[in-house]
Amino acid sequence: MSSKSPDSREPWCPVCEEHTDYHLENEDSAMYTCNECSSSAWKPTAPVPLTIVVLGIVFSLNALAFAALSGKISSGLTLENGFAAVVISGVSIILLRVVWNNWEHWRKFHRWKKTQLH
């Protein structure tokens, strides 16, 4: 497929580094799949709003876990509180990874966009 001009409203494949033809796995899917290489294609979205929301969620969850473990809102270090802290840590890592991947994709798209426009 020939290269299309950069458009952040169109799905972009980070593997092929271009706007390729794509398909949805099913009607309800939010993820696009590149027809050229079968990897995930994304519509580049501004990472700042997502980062702000995720950091707010992560901060709130971790503050809640800290309060529970320190005995401020419950009886302190119990098995349930310890388990909740581990789960919250895992969720925090996953959410931060999503934000990191979005920033990486955004940077890669804009590097490609600069090469296409020059």
Q: Do 50 and 72 belong to one domain?
A: yes
User: If you average pLDDT over residues 14-30, what whole number do you get?
Assistant: 85
Shared-domain flag, residues 31 and 49: no
Share of the chain above pLDDT 90, in %: 41
SS3 of residue 113 by DSSP: helix
How many domains does the chain fold into?
A: 2
| Same structural domain, 96 and 48 | yes
Q: Name the average pLDDT for the chain.
A: 87
Annotate 38-49 with b (16+ C-beta within 10 A) or e (fewer): eebbbebeebee
Determine the straight-line distance between the first and last CA of the chain, rounded to whole angstroms.
21
Clarify whether residues 56 and 95 are in a common domain: yes
Taking only the tens place, the pLDDT of each residue in 71-105 is 777 676 778 878 888 999 999 999 999 999 999 99
Q: How far apart are CA 40 and CA 23, in angstroms?
A: 10
If asked whether residues 10 and 30 sit together in one domain, one would say yes
Please answer whether residues 22 and 32 qualify as being in contact, where contact means their C-beta atoms are separated by less than 8 angstroms. Answer: yes
Helix/strand/coil (H, E, C) string of 35-82?
CCCCCEEECCCCHHHHHHHHHHHHHHHHHHHHHHHCCCCCCCCCHHHH
Give me the domain span that covers residue 90: 44-117
Kindly report the pTM of this predicted structure. Answer: 0.75
Q: Do 72 and 96 share a domain, yes or no?
A: yes
- Same domain, residue pair 28 and 75: no
Domain check: are 77 and 25 in the same one?
no
Based on the domain organization, do 17 and 73 belong to the same domain?
no
Q: Which of 28, 43, 58 is the last residue of a domain?
A: 43
**Residue scoring higher pLDDT (112 or 69):** 112
Please check whether residue 8 is in contact with residue 44, taking contact to mean a CB–CB distance below 8 angstroms: yes
The verdict on 70 and 82 lying in the same domain is: yes
Residue bearing the bigger pLDDT, 102 or 29 = 102
Residue 48 sits in the same domain as residue 103:
yes
